[in-house]
Amino acid sequence: MYIILLPTIILILIKTIITLKFLINLIYFLSV
């Protein structure tokens, strides 16, 4: 169960981090 869940959680975390970084960069670019 955990062996199947762990890669999924890691993938979701990576996607979330990438999305957050993209949003922060976008906000920073628009505010300048």
1-32 tens-digit pLDDT = 678 888 999 999 999 999 999 999 999 999 88
This model's pTM is above 0.85: no
- Which two structure tokens, joined as six digits, stand for 9? 């959680």
What pLDDT, on a 0 to 100 scale, did the predictor assign at position 27? 95
What pLDDT, on a 0 to 100 scale, did the predictor assign at position 15? 98
Would you kindly state where each structural domain of the chain is located, as residue ranges?
1-32
Rounded to whole angstroms, what are the CA distances from 19 to 2, 4, 10, 22, 29?
25, 24, 14, 5, 15
What pLDDT, on a 0 to 100 scale, did the predictor assign at position 16? 98
What pLDDT, on a 0 to 100 scale, did the predictor assign at position 1? 63
